[in-house]
Amino acid sequence: MKTKLLIEQHFHGCFGVDFNKATVEQVLELSKKIFQYGIGGIFPTIVTDTVENTRRAIDVIKAAAEIQTADMAKILGVHLEGIFLNPEKKGIHNVKHFLVPAVENYKLIEDDFIKIVTIAPELDRDFELSKYLLSKGIKVQAGHCTGGDLACCTGATHLYNAMSGVVHRGKTTALSALIDDNLYTEIIADGVHVSQDALKLLFKSKPLDKIILVSDSLPITKSDKKEMIFADEKVYYDGERAASADGTIAGSTTLLPEIIKRLYKSGLLFSYEEFEQLIENPYHYHNLDIKGSIEWDDDWNIIEVKQL
């Protein structure tokens, strides 16, 4: 079986490399290694940090993108997950760095290499920042939030996680994302972040062409580390999940090929056409054209990754 290369639009690092702290050389090394996992394009994702550290991280990622070689996963832009979130749904993020979603605050870190911004829409007064971002062609995703009005959003960040959940009265983020057929929804289908029943609800509710598989991978992924500092918090990896001392899940420790295989084994999806659609969705979302392909066996193990 053959598909396009995978696109990863939400991950914080792997192989011990943290995009918030990495050097240009480390970002280049990561993008070369990850290509061997069939990942042809990446949106390095920055967790909440100081304005100064956020600007530095963006500059590093942007500089790395300018000197990449053909054997690397193409750096497609930055996913800014941090800063404009709701403290009630902070997850692992450090609230002391949060800023009110407003154009003047965004301009503190603004850069043309930012392509996705996760935001708490309920804190964005009159959707001022969301509308500004959309006018710049930036994807606006609801995440780490409680709001149910997603009218100015193009997507939802890691559906179910760190957002108000499905209820039978009122509007919530997850409910609005599930019933809006035009909204793209990220999902971390790693077997840790979301239950099997929640995945079933997603695949029954959403058009398949609006679901985007993401890993939300942590720097600890594919490394020999058992603990690390991430988002100013000590995170511990027990071989299955990475969480803070109080049990807050920090992110995933799997990459997209493993997630695809897990989905196949779960029985939620069966046909090649279904998986092919999921792999193509981020291409449509971001209007991408990346050459290359993956050859898979019948159990969705990668046989070969090809460049074109």
| pLDDT (tens digit per residue) in 208-226 | 999 999 999 999 999 999 9
Structure tokens belonging to residue 134? 């959309």
Q: What percent of the chain has pLDDT over 70?
A: 100
pLDDT in tens, 106-143: 999 999 999 999 999 999 999 999 999 999 999 999 99
Digit-coded pLDDT (tens) for 249-296: 999 999 999 999 999 999 988 899 999 999 999 999 999 999 999 999
Please give the residue that has the higher pLDDT: either 165 or 308: 165
Identify the bridge partners of residue 6 per DSSP, sorted by sequence position. Answer: 39
pTM given for the model? 0.97
Per-residue pLDDT tens digits for 20-75: 999 999 999 999 999 999 999 999 999 999 999 999 999 999 999 999 999 999 99
What pLDDT is recorded for position 240? Answer: 87
Q: Which long-range contacts (CB under 8 A, 24 or more apart) does 135-143 make?
A: 138/114, 139/115, 139/285, 139/286, 141/116, 141/117, 141/186, 142/118, 142/173, 142/176, 142/177, 143/81, 143/85, 143/118, 143/119
- Residue count of the chain, please give it: 308
Residue-level pLDDT at 269: 86
| pLDDT for the residue 171 | 93
In DSSP terms, 17 is beta-bridged to: 14
What is residue 161's predicted lDDT score, i.e. its pLDDT? 97
Structural domain spans, the chain: 2-306
| The one-letter amino acid at 21 | K
| CATH 3.20.20.140 is the classification of domain 2-306 | yes
Q: What is the pLDDT of residue 307?
A: 87
pLDDT value of residue 270: 81
Q: What angle do CA 170, 123, 229 make, to 5 degrees?
A: 110
Residues 6+ apart with CB under 8 A from 53: 20
Phi, psi of 266 (to 5 degrees): -70, -20
pLDDT given at position 127: 98
Average pLDDT, stretch 89-95?
96
Q: Which pLDDT score, from 0 to 100, does residue 34 have?
A: 97
